């Protein structure tokens, strides 16, 4: 397919990624030498601007990491720019209404699935990049729709309660579970081992797979990550750049001092 995350899921091989929130190009390049499959360029919490997002996408492309972008809002300009800058998956946080999920798909996918606006330019690669070298605009739209995954987050009570309907939306490729916000919305913040939380995540995973959609989840520990992979999640976004950097240097210092 035109998206490696789809291929990994089809091969039943869980994709492993991490959140990039520091927003540094060299950092992304380094992550390309670690065996990770994707990076989530986090414009929701990260402090960087749109141009930096584009350069982070470029850095990811350079080292063959799938560039995933998290946006703060279901917003025309944000989604259009992330898609045009080359994001290969879009994650949107804290959606509540079925209509918001539909709108996210409509903005990110070209016709006939959605209404994404088209322009010939760097962003779209129309006629230039190998996957975009199509004869017709119609074929190009189909390729772009295959290449860009729309994976909104399920991390509110409202989304959880209608997850079976959400995953039926045409053009929605998968769901990304945010355990911190989901557990908070369920009144059990950070209590990932509780039956209520387990029931919620099991429900989302089942709904996704019953509908033939991907299910990704964020993890804070490698034990949790292994556990989720064993349960059948298609992808794990593990931790954030700066936490892992701190841990790695702490380990180095501890090793030297011991």
- Contact residues toward ligand 3PY (CB under 6 A) are 93, 155, 178-181, 218
Q: Return the residue nearest ligand 3PY (CB atom).
A: 178
Q: Among residues 144 and 201, whose Cβ is nearest to ligand 3PY?
A: 201
CA distance 68 to 229: 19
Judged by CB, which is closer to ligand 3PY: 86, or 179? 179
Nearest CB to ligand 3PY, comparing residues 86 and 93: 93
Least separation, in Å, of the C-beta of 178 and ligand 3PY?
Answer: 3
Residue 93 Cβ, how far from ligand 3PY at the closest point, in Å? Answer: 6
CB–CB of 43/87 below 8 Å? no
User: CB of residue 88 vs ligand 3PY: minimum separation in angstroms?
Assistant: 18
Gap between the Cα atoms of 77 and 127, Å rounded: 23
Q: Which is nearer to ligand 3PY, 143 or 239 (CB)?
A: 239
Q: How far is the CB of 43 from ligand 3PY (least distance, A)?
A: 13
Min. distance of Cβ 175 from ligand 3PY in angstroms? 12
Q: Which is nearer to ligand 3PY, 32 or 220 (CB)?
A: 220
Report the nearest approach of ligand 3PY to the CB of residue 237 (Å): 7
Cβ contacts of 69 within 8 Å, gap of 6 or more: 40, 41, 43, 53, 57, 82, 85, 87, 89, 90, 91
Q: Closest CB to ligand 3PY among 37 and 155?
A: 155
19 versus 110: smaller Cβ distance to ligand 3PY: 19
CB of 42 to ligand 3PY, least distance (A): 8
For the record, the structure tokens of 123 come out as 């962003």
């Amino acid at each position: 397919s035109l998206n490696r995350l789809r291929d990994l899921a089809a091969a039943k091989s869980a994709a492993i990624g991490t959140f990039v929130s520091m927003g540094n190009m060299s950092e992304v390049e380094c992550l390309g030498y670690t065996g990770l499959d994707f990076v989530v360029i986090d414009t929701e919490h990260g402090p960087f601007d749109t141009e930096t997002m584009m350069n982070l996408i470029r850095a990811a492309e350079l080292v063959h990491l799938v560039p995933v972008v998290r946006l703060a809002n279901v917003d025309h300009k944000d989604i259009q720019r992330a898609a045009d800058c080359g994001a290969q998956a879009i994650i949107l946080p804290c959606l509540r209404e079925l209509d918001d999920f539909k709108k996210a798909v409509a903005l990110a996918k070209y016709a006939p699935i959605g209404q994404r606006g088209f322009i010939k330019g760097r962003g779209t690669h129309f006629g230039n990049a190998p996957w975009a070298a199509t004869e017709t605009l119609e074929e190009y739209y189909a390729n772009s729709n295959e290449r860009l995954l729309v994976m909104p987050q399920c991390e509110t009570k409202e989304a959880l309660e209608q997850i079976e309907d959400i995953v039926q939306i045409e053009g929605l490729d998968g769901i990304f579970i945010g355990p911190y916000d989901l557990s908070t919305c369920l009144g059990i913040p950070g209590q990932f081992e509780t039956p209520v939380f387990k029931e919620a995540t099991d429900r989302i995973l089942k709904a996704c797979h019953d509908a033939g959609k991907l299910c990704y989840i964020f993890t804070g520990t490698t034990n949790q990550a292994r556990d989720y992979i064993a349960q059948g999640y298609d992808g794990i976004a593990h931790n954030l750049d700066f936490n892992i950097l701190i841990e790695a240097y702490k380990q180095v210092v501890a090793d030297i001092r011991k």
